[in-house]
Amino acid sequence: MSQHPTALFTPTSLERALDQNEAIQETVEQSAAELCVINAVLQQEVPEHVKTGDVAQALQKTDELESRIQTSAENLEQVNQALKEEIQVRADLERQLAATQAELDQVQNSAQNNAQAGAQGRSSSC
């Protein structure tokens, strides 16, 4: 599972998508590794005189399938990296927004206190 940047973690849709993609990526990588082993065994164990016709085609297809699965795993890794970066950007923006909101609240409270103090000062001078 991914390491999420927020301390009090409430998963967003992006974070859930990343977790799902990482699980899928792991499955795809395991499948590619298993298929690689199967291909190696078949290439070594099937006699050359048998590697004709349908058998030759099947061996070629498993090689192609292995390549496609490996490419898919690499593509998933790139997608996961993009999701991680987007999650980090959003977490940074949320922290900035929270800090800005806190500053705004402080300024508003200060302005309200100043307005009340000014109103009290004007009413006591009458």
pLDDT digits (tens, 9 = 90+) for 70-97: 999 999 999 999 999 999 999 999 999 9
Q: How far is CA 49 from CA 15, 43, 45, 55, 64, in A?
A: 52, 12, 12, 10, 22
For the full predicted model, state whether its pTM sits above 0.85.
no
What is the C-alpha separation between 85 and 102, in angstroms, rounded? 26
Domain residues of the chain, as ranges? 13-124
Once rounded to an integer, what is the mean pLDDT over residues 40-45? 90
**d(Cα 72, Cα 124) in Å, to the nearest integer?**
77
**Helices (runs of H) and strands (runs of E) counted in the chain:** 2, 0
